[in-house]
Amino acid sequence: MALRNIAIIAHVDHGKTTLVDQLLKQSGTFRENQKVAERVLDSNDLEKERGITILAKATSVVWKDTRINIVDTPGHADFGGEVERILSMVDGAIVLVDAAEGPMPQTKFVVGKALKVGLRPIVAINKIDRPDARADEVLNEVFDLFASLDATDEQLDFQTLYGSGRDGWMNVEPEGPKDEGLAPLLDMVLEHVPAPQTIDGPFRMIGTILEADNFLGRIITGRIESGTLKANQSVKVLGQDGHLIENGRVSKILAFRGIERQAVDQAEAGDIVAIAGLTKGTVADTFCDPSVSEALTAQPIDPPTVTMTFIVNDSPLAGTEGTKLTSRVIRDRLLKEAEGNVALKIEESQEKDSFHVSGRGELQLAVLIETMRREGFEIAVSRPRVVMLKDETGQPLEPVEEITIDVDEEHSGAVVQKMSERKADMIELRPSGGNRVRLVFHAPTRGLIGYQSELLTDTRGTAVMNRLFHEYQPYKGEIGGRVNGVILANEAGEAVGYALFNLEDRGPMVIDPGEKVYEGMIVGIHNRDNDLEVNVLKGKKLTNMRASGKDEAIKLTPPIRMTLERALAWIQDDELVEVTPKTIRLRKRYLDPHERKRFERGKLASAG
């Protein structure tokens, strides 16, 4: 059977996964009566909750006697490591662009990678039924984007389709006809995407996606570059530098057939398959016939820009909610994650029981922490820090991101002011329709940690911010941080409503009455810039004197709810977020007040 391999690439929320749903339905992959979940490829719990794609997935459809392997890619720059590897498996790409929003930063990131590896994309302008759709302008913006990314003449001569992935139609004309469904898109793939290029010789394949299966063990997905692979065939695994990692046998070959993976006896060059049976081979390694001596070259990956410290939870409440607490269990889990996710880097810290985890952004690390807490882990994590480099003269370099903010015109002044405080340079300001403007900045990653929630407050929730790694630039100097101090508990026990009520003048609380607290735990945000230790266990003194007025029931202001991302961005360097399966708590790194003072003195001495 003839083959085509394509990726669907787009900015987050432009409709990739919904389009794949419709392609599977219309190609006859699902039975008429088959009950299928919406956004069928977003299989992971976090993907369903957040409505985003985190992991790349493969599926396939058969159209006119040709099998089309489709890879759905993530739309967030934080998961860009997934995207870069996937593009080496495919020969074409469908670039999906929202008819109202136009090409966004993530579109630019992924399209840049696709053009670099020589793909000729098909542009599909999606959501054409939106009332604010502006298809012609968006098409011009896509052309300008391709030109700015140094596309070749052949790449600039791209095919264009218009339609609605949700309604299940695409056509060369914005008005339709709609009754042909997605047939024009599938026909265009057959016509304009080349068949996979294969090389002569024995079996060779680069590992692209790694996952674990309870029954089959490690499963590696990749595209067979040359030769034929049979079940139970002996293979060896070579590292990127050509050294031997292991010899083994392929116990199962799984081919993508619709949303299912089916075991097959044999796979040919050009097909995308998953193989099981090897215990050490991982992403970017070459899986090959024993006669092969040279490894295939894997696509290089952009470096991580943000790092966090994961520490064994040593709070007085450790072990009351989670089951996985020890440094050995945490280390094994982090190393397992780094195996499958090449954009993550794990290093053991010099301090005992802690690990430095580096990734592409706070979202990627927050998703890892959220996944771990759902698996029963208890950990404490530090504030995200940027990964600094040095130039030839020894001067520090820091990561700078390209930030695109779409905001109502009335709030643009506040955004520009806040971004300039964060040492950002404005690159562009232009209207984006409907009394909104699009602001583009180059800003240091340091200044953006924690800005998302502040931006939403400043713009009454109307701003949309997108980030994309730009380059490393010379260090831009100090950036002001949080101005408020914190309110700390000075005893262990359960917080009392009466005590919290009396502390409300000092600042908003972050805990509820009845919540367990311990010495050094953060219970509120101080109105001033210093830290304040308080007793939140103190109840009302009861006497046998009858009061002339009756006691009023206390009315507490609801506490500020800290989500994981908000807590990570809000804390300072001397504070930690304690993450357990049920609770997120904020605390000082050193719980004992004397230790805190000693640490502060040491910091001042080293600064002086």
**CA-based nearest residue to 446, from 393, 483, 397, 405:** 397
0.85 surpassed by pTM: no
Alpha carbons within 13 A on the beta-carbon side of 359 = 25
13 is in an annotated binding site: yes
Do the beta carbons of residue 146 and residue 156 sit within 8 Å?
Answer: yes
- Compute the distance between CA of residue 370 and CA of residue 577 in angstroms, rounded to an integer: 12
To the question of whether residue 289 is assigned a binding role by annotation, the answer is no
Q: Which of 251, 206, 230 is nearest to 85 (CA)?
A: 206
Please give the sequence-ordered ranges of beta strands (E in DSSP) within 227-364, or none if there are none: 228-230, 234-238, 244-249, 252-257, 260-264, 266-268, 272-276, 286-288, 306-312, 345-348, 354-359
Helices first, then strands: H and E counts in the chain: 15, 35
Consult the annotation and say whether 560 binds a ligand: no
Q: Is the pLDDT of residue 515 over 70?
A: yes
Please state the CATH superfamily assignment of the domain spanning residues 486-543+550-607 in this structure: bipa protein (2.40.50.250)
Percent of the chain with pLDDT over 70: 88
Query: Is 160 marked as a binding-site residue?
Result: no
May I ask the CATH architecture of the domain 204-288? Answer: Beta Barrel (2.40)
Listed by start position, the domains of the chain span 2-192, 204-288, 390-474, 486-543+550-607
Q: Is 128 annotated as a binding residue?
A: yes
CATH number of 390-474: 3.30.70.240
Q: What are the tokens at 52?
A: 């985003």
pLDDT value at residue 51:
42
pLDDT digits (tens, 9 = 90+) for 28-44: 654 443 433 333 333 44
Instruction: List Cβ neighbours of 33 (8 Å cut-off, separation of 6 or more).
Output: none
Q: Is 243 known as a binding-site position?
A: no
State which CATH number among 3.30.565.10, 3.40.50.720, 3.10.129.10, 3.40.50.300 fits the domain covering 2-192: 3.40.50.300
E strands along 101-215, which residues?
122-126, 159-164, 169-171, 204-206, 209-213
pLDDT digits (tens, 9 = 90+) for 194-247: 888 878 889 998 888 777 777 887 888 888 888 898 988 999 988 888 888 888
Say whether 15 counts as a known binding-site residue. yes
pLDDT of residue 33: 39
Nearest to 248 by CA among 218, 226, 210, 284: 218
The length of the chain, given as a count of residues = 608
Q: Is 418 annotated as a binding residue?
A: no
Q: What is the pLDDT of residues 557-590, one digit of tens each?
A: 888 888 888 888 888 888 999 999 999 999 999 8
Contacts of 50 (CB under 8 A, 6+ apart): none
The answer to whether domain 2-192 and domain 390-474 are alike in fold is: no
Residue 442 among known ligand-binding residues: no
Q: What is the pLDDT of residues 372-401, one digit of tens each?
A: 998 999 999 998 888 888 888 888 888 888
Count other Cβ atoms within 10 Å, centred on residue 165: 26
| Helical spans, DSSP H, in 493-553 | 497-503
- Mean pLDDT score across all residues of the chain: 82
Nearest to 149 by CA among 119, 95, 121, 109: 109
Phi, psi at 226, each rounded to 5°: -155, 155
353 has a pLDDT exceeding 70: yes
